[in-house]
Structure 1
Amino acid sequence: MTTDVDFDSVAVFSLLGNRRRLLIVGYLSLFEEGTSVEVRHLARVVRGVELGKPPRLVSSNDYESAYNSLIQTHLPKLAAHNVVEYDASRKTLSPTHRIAQCALLAQITHYLN
Structure 2
Amino acid sequence: MHSKTEVKNVLESAGFSRSNQYYVVQQGKIASLTLMKGSERLDLLRDIDGTRVYEDRRKDSLKIVTKTGAANKMKQIDQVVQYFKERLRELDEEKEELKKYQQLDKQRR
Q: Work out whether the TM-score is over 0.5.
A: no
Report the TM-score when normalising by structure 1.
Answer: 0.23
User: Considering only CA atoms, is the larger Rg found in Structure 1 or Structure 2?
Assistant: 2
The structure whose residues are more often helix, as a share, is 2
Of structures 1 and 2, the one with the larger relative CO (CA 8 A, separation 6+) is 1
Report the TM-score when normalising by structure 2.
Answer: 0.23
